[in-house]
Amino acid sequence: MRQGAGGLQYPFETVPARGELIEAAPGIMWVRMPLPFSLDHINLWLLEDGEGWALVDTGVANDETIDLWNSIFEEKLGGKPITRVIVTHLHPDHVGLAGWITRKFGVTVEMSRTDYLMCRTLVADTGNEAPQEAIDFYRGAGFSERGLDAYRARFGNFGERVYRLPDIFKRLKEGDTLTIGGREWEIIVGSGHAPEHVCLYSAEDKILISGDQVLPRISSNVSLHPTEAYGNPLQDWIDSCAKLRAALPDDTLVLPAHNEPFYGLHARLTRLIDGHEKSLKRLLGELAEPKRAIDVFSALFKRKIGPDVFFMATGESLAHLACLVHRGLARAEKDEKGVVWYKAA
């Protein structure tokens, strides 16, 4: 057992090589697929399901990932087919190949209703022009005309890494129980990182397939987006972390979508909650004078924010500012140019 920072323990010394499987627990195989992002991998989980395998998450839709899956299907699964495809949430690294795999094996994708429908909406925007409401949203955050042009150029690229979604789905919701290979999995839904993020928990074996809801060494992005401009995703995220901490035992084996499997669930959830609360406190201290969303990066991020993460950082800043506003600790006022200024209440 390898000791890690923050009181976490890592039971595995290695990670799966490309196209290889590691047994994470009896009847659970760990697959790691490459990602074409700065976060360069995703963990996917194959659950033994009688005469086949249930798959949790799929990887992005590109030729490299399809080739790796074909190799696994042909050589690593003992000739057994995929019986179910379960998707934790709507982001392309998780849902990207759901359409391809479900069609290949004649099965139905299973995910939450909100994430399925939101994913279809985002994919439908592929190739469209950015709507004026979204332009106004980022102008309000403080984007320059150059920044708005960059947003226009990237708008509608969500669907580029998502294979055509299935036209029907099976809904997963809070409290559902899935029986897979004789093991019962409870559905626990979180929010903040995604609208309705599905986690799978086996009480008998104390195993949590956490998706992006709990990661051991990075904090999942929590952003405010134009489509739900008046939301409070950070409070949703904090509440979801607190719910998991109250509901699950500390000695749960967590199988996350990124980094490695770990023990120390309560310590990690507490660290995630406390980290955001400290960020909110620092941010509030910056609001003695009015600030735009793009003015407060230094209160939230240790590294310099460059063009590659500027949109993500802006979304995180907006989520933290919105949380302060919803708590009554800050006010937001829009000036005559449409720019939103935040100040401590």
Per-domain residue ranges of the chain: 2-285
**154 vs 160: CA distance, rounded Å:** 11
Percent of the chain at pLDDT above 70? Answer: 100
DSSP category for residue 232: -
Confidence band of 19 (pLDDT split at 50, 70, 90): confident
Please report how many Cα atoms fall inside a 13 Å half-sphere around the Cα of residue 124, on the Cβ side.
7
Q: pLDDT digit string (tens) for 219-250?
A: 999 999 999 999 999 999 999 999 999 999 99
- Residue 320 makes CB contacts below 8 A (sequence gap 6+) with 234, 276, 279, 280, 283, 296, 300
pTM: 0.96
Phi/psi for 112 (5° steps) reads -70, 155
Q: What pLDDT is stored for residue 308 in this prediction?
A: 85
**213 vs 168: CA distance, rounded Å:** 25
Q: What pLDDT is stored for residue 321 in this prediction?
A: 98
CB 17 within 8 A of CB 24: no
**334 vs 199: CA distance, rounded Å:** 38
**70 vs 159: CA distance, rounded Å:** 22
CB 215 within 8 A of CB 259: yes
Place of tokens 């980022």: 138
Arithmetic mean of pLDDT, 107-116: 98
**67 vs 82: CA distance, rounded Å:** 16
| Length of the chain as a residue count | 345
Q: Is the pLDDT of residue 60 over 90?
A: yes
Arithmetic mean of pLDDT, 277-292: 97
Q: Is the pLDDT of residue 117 over 90?
A: yes
**3 vs 6: CA distance, rounded Å:** 9
Q: pLDDT digit string (tens) for 150-186?
A: 999 999 889 999 999 999 999 999 999 999 999 999 9
Supply 21's token pair.
């499987």
Q: Is the pLDDT of residue 281 over 90?
A: yes
What mean pLDDT is reported for the chain? Answer: 96
- Residue 239 makes CB contacts below 8 A (sequence gap 6+) with 191, 192
Q: What pLDDT is stored for residue 40 in this prediction?
A: 95
Q: Is the pLDDT of residue 302 over 90?
A: no
Place of tokens 């200024």: 341
**131 vs 324: CA distance, rounded Å:** 27
- Residue 141 makes CB contacts below 8 A (sequence gap 6+) with 292, 293, 294, 314, 317, 318, 340
Region of residue 6 (phi > 0: left; psi between -120 and 50: alpha; otherwise: beta): left
Q: Is the pLDDT of residue 303 over 90?
A: no
Q: pLDDT digit string (tens) for 176-215?
A: 999 999 999 999 999 999 999 999 999 999 999 999 999 9
Q: pLDDT digit string (tens) for 264-276?
A: 999 999 999 999 9
Arithmetic mean of pLDDT, 30-40: 94
Structural fold of domain 2-285: Metallo-beta-lactamase; Chain A (3.60.15)
Q: What pLDDT is stored for residue 213 in this prediction?
A: 97
Q: pLDDT digit string (tens) for 71-109?
A: 999 999 999 999 999 999 999 999 999 999 999 999 999
Q: What pLDDT is stored for residue 4 in this prediction?
A: 83
